[in-house]
Structure 1
Amino acid sequence: MASKRICIVGGVAGGASCAARLRRLDEQAEIILFEKGPFVSFANCGLPYYVGDVIRREENLLVATPDLFRQRFRIEVRLFSEVVGIDRDRRRIRVQDHQTGRNYTETYDALVLSPGAFPVRPPIPGLDLPGVFFVRTIPDSREIRRMIEENRAQRAVVIGGGYIGLEMTENLARRGLDVALVEMQHQLMPLCDPEMVWPLYLVLQEKGVVVRLGAQVDAIEGGVDGQLRVRLRSQDELAAHLVIVAVGVRPEVRLAQEAGLALGPLGGIRVNEKMQTSDPSIWAVGDAVEVFHVVTGQPSLVPLAGPANRQGRLAADAICGRNVRFRGVQGTAVVGVFDQVLAMTGLSEKMLKSLGLWNEPYRCEKIYLHPGHHAGYYPGAETMAMKLIFSKIDGKILGLQVVGKKGAVRRTDVIAMAMQKGGTVFDLEEAELCYAPQFGSAKDPVNLAGMIAANVLRGDVEVVHAEDMDQPPQDVLILDVREPFEYRRGHIPHAVHMPLGTIRERMAELPKDREIWAYCYVGQRSYLAARALRQYGYRAKNLSGGYRTYTLWRQAARPSQETP
Structure 2
Amino acid sequence: MSKKIVVIGGVACGGKTAARLRRLDPEAEILILEKGPYLSYAGCGLPYYIEGIVKEYKELMCTPVGVVRDESYFLNVKKIDVLTRHMATCIDREKKEVVAVDLELAVEKRFPYDDLVIATGGSPIKPDLPGIELGTVFTLWTLSDALAMRAAIDNGNVKRAVVVGAGLIGMEVVEALVARDIEVSVVDLLSWPLPNMLDEEFGSRLLRELKAKGVHFYGNEKVLEILGQDSVLTGVKTDQRTIPADMVLLAIGVRPNIHLAEETGLDIGSSGGVAVDEYMRTSDPNIYAGGDCVEVRHILTGKGVRQPMGSSANREGRVIADNILGRGSTFKGVLGTAIMKFFEYTVGRTGFNEHQARKEGFDPISVTVTAPDKPHFMPGAAWMVIKLVADKNTKRLLGGQIFGPGAVDKRLDGLVTAVTGGLTVDDLADTDFAYAPPYATALDPMTQTANVLRNKMEGLMTSYSPRELAAKMDRGEDCVLLDVRTEGEIKLQGKLPYENQVHIPLGALWTRVEELPKDKEIIAFCKISLRGWDALTVLRSKGFHKVAILEGGMMGWPYG
Q: What TM-score results when the alignment is normalised by the length of structure 1?
A: 0.91
Task: Give the partner amino acid of 1:334.
Answer: I
**Shift of residue 184, structure 1, vs aligned partner:** 2.0
* Matching of residue 445 in structure 1 with residue 450 in structure 2: no
SS state at 1:197 partner: helix
- Is 1:324 matched with 2:329? yes
SS of structure 2 residue aligned to 1:244: strand
Q: Percent identity?
A: 34
- Of 105, 109, 130, 1:104 maps to 109
| Secondary structure of 2:316's aligned partner | helix
1:73 equivalent in structure 2: 78
- Give the secondary structure class of the aligned counterpart of 1:387: strand
- 1:560 matched to which residue of 2? none
Aligned counterpart in structure 1 of residue 98 of structure 2, from 93, 98, 116: 93
Question: Corresponding residue for 2:392?
Answer: 392
Q: 1:145 to 1:320 in 2, by over 3 A?
A: same
Query: Aligned partner of 2:551: which letter?
Result: S
Partner of 2:414: 414
> For the structure 1 residues 464 and 176, does the alpha-carbon distance in structure 2 shift closer, same or farther, using more than 3 Å as the test?
closer
Aligned to 1:46: 45
Q: Deviations over 1:268-294 (max 9, x none)?
A: 111111111111111110111111111
- Maintained 8 Å contact 2:357/2:398: no
* Equivalence for 1:464: 464
Instruction: Trace 1:31-430 onto structure 2 (pairs within 5 A).
Output: 31-63=30-62, 64-150=69-155, 152-191=157-196, 192-224=198-230, 226-234=232-240, 236-353=241-358, 356-357=359-360, 361-430=361-430
Q: Residue 180 of structure 1: SS of its match in structure 2? A: strand
Which runs of no fewer than 5 residues in structure 2 stay unpaired?
63-68
Contact 1:477 1:495 in 2 (8 A): no
Structure-2 change in CA distance of 1:480 and 1:309 (3 Å): same
Q: Secondary structure at the match of 1:390?
A: strand
Give, in angstroms, the shift of residue 440 of structure 1: 1.6
| Structure-2 separation of matches of 1:475 and 1:47 | 49
Asked if 1 retains the 8 angstrom alpha-carbon contact of 2:32 and 2:83, the reply is: yes
CA shift, 1:503, in A, is 4.2
How many Å apart are 1:133 and its aligned residue? Answer: 0.7
Q: Which residue of 1 aligns with 2:66?
A: none
Local SS of the residue matching 2:88: strand
Cα pair distance change 1:123/1:508, threshold 3 Å: same
Q: How many Å apart are 1:241 and its aligned residue?
A: 2.0
C-alpha displacement of 1:516: 4.3
Q: 1:37-70: CA deviations, max 9, x gaps?
A: 1012111111111111111111111142221211
Query: Which residue of structure 1 lines up, in the alignment, with residue 548 of structure 2?
Result: 541
Which amino acid letter does the alignment assign opposite residue 131 of structure 1? Answer: T
Q: Distance in 1 between matches of 2:426 and 2:234?
A: 55
Q: How far does the alpha carbon of each residue in 1:176-228 deviate from its partner, in whole angstroms, 9 at most, with x for none?
A: 22222222210000121122133433333333322222222110021249343
Task: Name the CA distance, whole Å, in 2 between partners of 1:474 and 1:130.
Answer: 52
Query: 2: distance between equivalents of 1:529 and 1:427?
Result: 28
Matches of 1:131 and 1:261, distance apart in 2: 38
Letter in 2 for 1:200: L
Shift of 1:535: 6.0
Distance in structure 2 (CA, Å) of the matches to 1:394 and 1:459: 16
Deviates further, 476-485 or 217-226: 476-485
CA RMSD of aligned residues (A): 2.3
Structure 1 contact 86–92 (Cα < 8 Å) conserved: yes
Contact conserved, 2:175 with 2:342, CA < 8 A, in 1? yes
SS in 2 for 1:415: helix
Q: For 1:417 and 1:247, locate their aligned partners in 2 and report how far apart those are by CA, in whole Å.
A: 30
1:521 aligns with 2:545: no
1:478 aligns with 2:480: yes
2:65 corresponds in structure 1 to none
Whole-Å Cα distance in 2 between the matches of residues 528 and 431 of structure 1? Answer: 25
CA shift in 2, pair 1:474/1:212, >3 Å = closer
Amino acid at match of 1:51: I
State the distance in 2 between where 1:458 and 1:60 align.
52
C-alpha separation in 1, matches of 2:311 and 2:504: 50
Per-residue deviation, 1:530: 2.5
CA distance in 2, matches of 1:531, 1:279: 64
Q: Could you say what secondary structure the match of 1:287 adopts?
A: coil
Inter-CA distance 350–121: structure 2 relative to 1 (3 Å threshold): farther
**Letter in structure 1 aligned against 2:406:** K
Q: Is the 8 A contact 2:480 2:520 kept in 1?
A: no
Q: Distance in 2 between matches of 1:451 and 1:74?
A: 54
Alpha-carbon distance between aligned partners in 2 of 1:174 and 1:517, rounded to the nearest angstrom: 41
Aligned residues: 546
Matches of 1:417 and 1:23, distance apart in 2: 30
Answer whether contact 1:373 1:439 (CA < 8 A) is retained: yes
Question: Equivalents in 2 of 1:410, 1:468: separation in Å?
Answer: 28
Which amino acid letter does the alignment assign opposite residue 546 of structure 1? G
